[in-house]
Amino acid sequence: MATTATAPRRRRKASWVGYLPYLLPAIIAFAVIIGYPLAMNLYFSLFRWKGGLAPMRWVGLGNYADLLADEAFWTSFRNSISMIVAMVIIPTIIGLILAAVLFDYLGRCFGPRVAAVLRATYYLPQILPVAVAGIVWNWILNAQDGAVNVFLGQLGVTDPPDWLGNPALAMPSVMLVLIWVQIGYPVVIFMSALQRVDPELYEAAELDGAGWGARFRAITLPQIKPETFVVTLTCTIAALKVFAPVYVLTRGGPEGTTLVPSYYSFLNFFDKSKVGYGAAVATVLTLVIIAIASAILFFQARVEREERGAR
Amino acid sequence: MSSLRVGARRAEKLHSRYAHGPVRWIVLAVAILVAIAMLAPILIMLLNAFKSAQDYSQNGPLSLPSSFYTNGLATFWNRTNFPIKLLNSIFISGLVAVFGTFLSLITAYALGIGRVRGRTWIIALFLIANMLPQESIIYPLFTMANAVGLSNSQWSVIIIFTVIQAAFGIYLLSSVLSTFPNELLEAAALDGAGRFRTLWSVVYPIMKPTLGVLMVFFFIWTWNEFFIPLVMLTSNDTQTVPIALSSLQGDRMMDAPTINAGALVSLLPALIFFLIFQRTLTRGVTAGSVK
C-alpha cells in the first residue's frame, strides 16, 4: 500500500516542469493585467501629473505627504468604518440569527421548503447589479418625488427629510441600503455551514434541557467559526473597496459626508485630473486592504492553532 | 438496530416539542416580515414602473397603477437604446464566463494536478490579485488600452475581467483538483495519454458540473460590474446595462415611472438568471467559502 502511494508521487514530483506550459497563460495575463498596472500605479503616485500627454513632475513622496494633511482623505477612511459596520458587522449578526432561525427552528417546524424560499428571498438583493439596486434606492429616498417622502407627504408630514441630501442623514441612509444589499450573503453561507454540524450535538444539548439561546451559544457559534472568518474577511474587503453604491446614491456628498477612499481616488483620476494624487490614494487603500486581510488571516490561524492545542 | 430506534424516538420527541405551541407562528411571522422588507424595494419599483407621471404624483407610490401604462418603459428603451446595451452586456459577460473558466481550468490543472513547485505561493498571489481594489490598477489599464487601440472597446473589459474572475476560479479549482482521484490519472497514463489528453478526456468531463457553476458565477459577477466598465466604456454604443441606467441619473426628463421602468428592465436579466440558477448560485457561494 505504502509503496504504491509514494511511487507515483515521486514520479509526478519529477515531472511537474511538464505542467508549466499550462501555467504560462495565467502568469503572462496576471503580469500584464494586474502586476504591471499595479507597479505603474505606484510609479504614478510619485508624480504630479494631469494625465494623458501632460508633463509628469517628480514629487517623490510629496503626494503621500499631502494626503496626511488632506481632510477629505481622512474623512474617506473614517467613512470606511461606517461601511464596515453596514457591510460586515450588522449583516453578519443579523445573518447569523436569520440562518440559525431558518435552519434549526423554522426548517424543522415548517419543513425545509419554507426555509429555502425565505433564504432565496434574503439572498435576492445580492444577485441584482448593485448600481441598478442603488438607483432604485436613490429614487425611493429622493427628497422630492421619492417613494418614502411622497408616502410621508400623503400621511400629512409637511416637511419630510432629504434622506440623501442632508449631511446628517446621508450616511445612515447609505448604510441602510448597504445592509439591505449584504444580508443575504451571510445567511446563505451560515445556512450551509449549519448543515455540516452534527445534529446529535443539538439533540444531546436539548435532552440536557438547553434552550434555544443556550444551544445557539454553545453549539452553533463555535461550530461555524470557519465560515464566520470567511464572511468577515470577504465582507471587510468589500466594505473597504465599496464604490458603486456611493457613486449612484450620493457621489460622496453632501459635503463629503459619504466620501469613501475608492470614490475619492476615482474623483482625483477622472474629475480633478490629479492622477498622481489619485494613484497615491489607491496605493494607500491597497496597503490598508492587504494589512487588514493579513491581520484577519493571522488571527484565524492563531485561533485554529489554539483550538487544536486545547483538544 | 435498537440504537436507531432510540434515535428515531428521540427525534420524534424533539419534533413534537418543536411542532407545537404558538411561538413558532410568531417566529415565522417575523421571518416573513424580514422577507417582505427585503422584497419591498423591488415590489415598489414593479408597482411604479407601469404608472403615468400624473398617476404617480396624484396617487403616490403605494397605489396600484390606474391603467397599464407602458410609456415609461418605451421612453427608457428608446432613450438608452436598450437593445444595444443588452447585447453589450451579454457579449462581455458571456465571453468572460467562457475565457475565465478556461483560464481557471488550465491553470488549476498545473497547480492542483501538476503540483507545480511553489503552488501555495502562486495561489496566494492570485488571491491577492482578486482582493485588490480596482482603483489601484485602473489608470494604468486605461492608458494601456489607449496605447494599444482598445480605448472604449469591449475587448479591454473582457480581457481585464477574464483575468480578475480567473483569480478566484484558480483558487477554487486548484483546491478541488488537488483531491482529484489518483487512480483515474494513473489509468490515463497507462493508456498512454499525455498531459493534454488527460486534461481534455479525463479531468474536463469530470469537472464539467463545477465548471458550469463557475461559468454562471463569472457571468453574473461580470454582468453586475460597475467601476471598470464605467471608466473604460465611454460611448453610448459600448456601454453595459448598469452604466446605461446610471448615466440617465440627473436627466431632467426622467420622471419616477421612467426610472422605475428602466430599473425593472435592467434588473430583469439578473432576476431571470437568479430564478433559473438559484440552486447553482447557492451551491457556488458556499463552495467558494470554505474549501
| Average predicted confidence (pLDDT) for chain A | 90
A66-74: long-range contacts, CB 8 A cutoff, minimum separation 24: A66/A277, A66/A280, A67/A277, A67/A280, A67/A281, A67/A284, A72/A256, A72/A259, A72/A264, A73/A261, A73/A264, A73/A281
Q: Which of A115-124, A168-177, A212-221, A285-294 has the lowest mean pLDDT?
A: A212-221
The pLDDT of residue A169 is above 90: yes
In whole angstroms, give the CA distance from residue B107 to residue A20. 9
The pLDDT of residue A52 is above 60: yes
What is the C-alpha radius of gyration for chain A, rounded to an integer number of angstroms?
25
What nine digits make up the cell of A167? Answer: 449631511
Where does the pLDDT of residue B73 fall: very low under 50, low under 70, confident under 90, or very high at 90 and above?
A: confident
DSSP A55: P
What is the predicted ipTM?
Answer: 0.88
The predicted structure's pLDDT at residue B66: 80
Chain center to CA of B165? 11
In whole angstroms, give the CA distance from residue A136 to residue B264. 9
CA-CA distances (angstroms) from residue A38 to A242, B135, B209? 19, 10, 34
pLDDT tens track for A133-166: 999 999 999 888 889 998 898 888 889 999 999 9
Number of helices (H) and strands (E), helices first, in chain B?
A: 14, 0
Selection from A156, A192, A299, A143 nearest residue A236 by Cα: A299
Selection from A264, A240, A118, A87 nearest residue A191 by Cα: A118
What nine digits make up the cell of A67? Answer: 494626503
Query: What's the pTM?
Result: 0.88
Q: Which of A57-71, A87-101, B253-267 has the lowest mean pLDDT?
A: B253-267
The pLDDT of residue B13 is above 80: no
In whole angstroms, give the CA distance from residue B286 to residue A189. 5
In whole angstroms, give the CA distance from residue A218 to residue A256. 44
More confident residue, B280 or B161: B161
What nine digits make up the cell of A148? Answer: 418614502
Architecture category of domain A62-129+183-310 in CATH: Orthogonal Bundle (1.10)
Mean pLDDT in residue range B106-112: 94
Cross-chain CB nearest to A26 (options B132, B166, B241): B166
More confident residue, B153 or B54: B153
Question: Distance (Å) from the C-alpha of residue B234 to the closest C-alpha of chain A?
Answer: 12
Cross-chain CB nearest to B242 (options A22, A34, A132): A132
The predicted structure's pLDDT at residue A5: 47
To the nearest whole percent, how much of chain B has pLDDT over 90?
Answer: 45
DSSP assignment of B25-66, as one string?
HHHHHHHHHHHHHHHHHHHHHHHHTT--HHHHHHH-TTSPPS
Mean pLDDT in residue range B159-179: 92
Mean pLDDT in residue range B160-177: 93
What residue has cell string 493585467? A33
Question: What residues of B are in contact with residue A23 (Cβ under 8 Å)?
Answer: 107, 110-111, 114, 116, 122
The predicted structure's pLDDT at residue A1: 39
The predicted structure's pLDDT at residue B103: 97
| Backbone conformation region of residue A252, classed left if phi is above 0, alpha if psi is from -120 to 50, else beta | left
What nine digits make up the cell of A213? Answer: 439561546
The predicted structure's pLDDT at residue B14: 52
Q: Judge: B246–A189 Cβ closer than 8 Å, yes or no.
A: no
Question: Distance (Å) from the C-alpha of residue A243 to the closest C-alpha of chain B?
Answer: 7
The predicted structure's pLDDT at residue A4: 46
Instruction: Give the residue from chain B lying closest to A263, CA to CA.
Output: B135
Contact assessment for residue A279 and residue B139, using Cβ atoms and an 8 Å cutoff: yes
The pLDDT of residue A201 is above 90: no
The predicted structure's pLDDT at residue B19: 53
In whole angstroms, give the CA distance from residue B54 to residue A205. 61
Query: Which distant-in-sequence residues (6+ apart) come within 8 Å of A15 by Cβ?
Result: none
The predicted structure's pLDDT at residue B252: 62
The predicted structure's pLDDT at residue A3: 44
Where does the pLDDT of residue B11 fall: very low under 50, low under 70, confident under 90, or very high at 90 and above?
A: low
Question: Distance (Å) from the C-alpha of residue B2 to the closest C-alpha of chain A?
Answer: 16
The pLDDT of residue B83 is above 50: yes
In whole angstroms, give the CA distance from residue B265 to residue B244. 11
Mean pLDDT in residue range B189-206: 91
What nine digits make up the cell of A309? Answer: 492545542
Q: Which of B126, B135, B231, B252 to mutate to test the interface with A (most CBs of A within 10 A)?
A: B135
The predicted structure's pLDDT at residue A2: 43
Could you tell me the domains of chain B?
2-71 (no CATH), 80-247 (1.10.3720.10)
The predicted structure's pLDDT at residue A161: 93
Q: Which of A1, A10, A22 to mutate to test the interface with B (most CBs of B within 10 A)?
A: A22
Stretch (H or E) spanning A57? strand A56-58
The predicted structure's pLDDT at residue A286: 96
Question: What residues of A are in contact with residue B165 (Cβ under 8 Å)?
Answer: none
Helix (H, G, I), strand (E, B) or coil at A48: strand
Cross-chain CB nearest to A154 (options B18, B60, B245): B60
